[in-house]
Amino acid sequence: MNNKTLRAVLFGALGVLVVLIIVAAVLLLTDGGETAVAPEPTAALVADLPTELPATELPASPTVLPPAVVEILPTNTPLPTNTPTVTPVPTETALPTNTATAVPPTAVPPTRIPATNTPPPPTNTPVPAGPQPSNANGLVGQSFSLQPGRSSLTPGGQIWYEWRIGNTSGAGVPYSTIGVMPRRNGQDIVAWYQNNWGGNNDVMPPEGLSWPSWMAIPETGDYTIRLVVCFDGYQNCLNGGGTFYTLSQEIPVSIR
């Protein structure tokens, strides 16, 4: 192919391209003109459009939404209904009839005890004598007795008594304590001893001394009381470390 022929082909192709461009431009202008001069919608067309949009505005094209995702929810399990449970009523069981039962006798007939040839103990056995009155450094008991109608022989009750002591020495006799000693089951109870005179460097005058007073015994039982004197120091005597000399006979008292 020579240059002349090639040039003719290029000019022909260029001309075809220009013609296509002109046709496309005419078509675009024709469409734009038709849109611009489109006739106004009639009343019937306006009525068919939605009321919320302007009459001259066409509805927008629908938006394509993504496909819906379906989620399967668990089914609702019905709650248990409050159905009252019928509790069976207990049936009454008939009580057994009272059948009288013979009660064996509780009284046992006395058993005969064979007689023995053991003689009874003698009733004239002498009772061991208690402490006996004595002369204590010239002091002797002249009297000791309960005051009638004044003693209360109960635990802690007042037991009223009176005594008199003589002095055979003819001079003053020092002593530590003079009082009344309770005795039970053959034993002096120094803890319950009742001091009447003592603790102040006391001296018994030559003419002696008489005195009323009272004491108390806190527990029930059988006792004896007697007048005594101690010379071994006041506190030592009260603590049971001294010797108590008996100045009178014993008087039995029962505390109930």
pLDDT attached to residue 83: 52
Sequence-separated (6 or more) residues with CB below 8 Å from residue 229 = 136, 139, 165, 175, 177, 178, 244, 245, 247
Check: pTM over 0.85? Answer yes or no: no
Range from 28-37, 55-64, 110-119, 213-222 carrying the lowest mean pLDDT: 110-119
Quote the CA–CA distance of 46 and 52 in Å, as a whole number.
12
Hey, where are the domains in the chain? 139-255
**CATH classification code of 139-255:** 2.70.50.60
Q: What CA dihedral angle connects 208, 214, 216 and 217, to 10 degrees?
A: 50
Cβ contacts of 217-220, under 8 Å, gap ≥ 24: 217/155, 217/156, 217/159, 217/182, 217/192, 217/253, 217/255, 218/155, 218/156, 218/192, 219/155, 219/255, 220/155, 220/255, 220/256
Q: What is the mean pLDDT of residues 129-142?
A: 95
* pLDDT at 162 (0 to 100): 98
* Mean pLDDT of the region 32-58: 46
Q: How many residues does this entry show for the chain?
A: 256
> In the numeric block, which tokens belong to residue 222?
């059988």
- Rounded distance between C-alpha atoms, residue 204 and residue 107, angstroms: 69
Task: Count other C-beta atoms under 10 Å from residue 198's C-beta.
Answer: 18
More confident residue, 4 or 136: 136
Rg (CA), the chain: 71
8: pLDDT strictly greater than 70:
yes
Average pLDDT over residues 118-134: 63
Q: Does the pLDDT value for residue 228 go beyond 70? A: yes
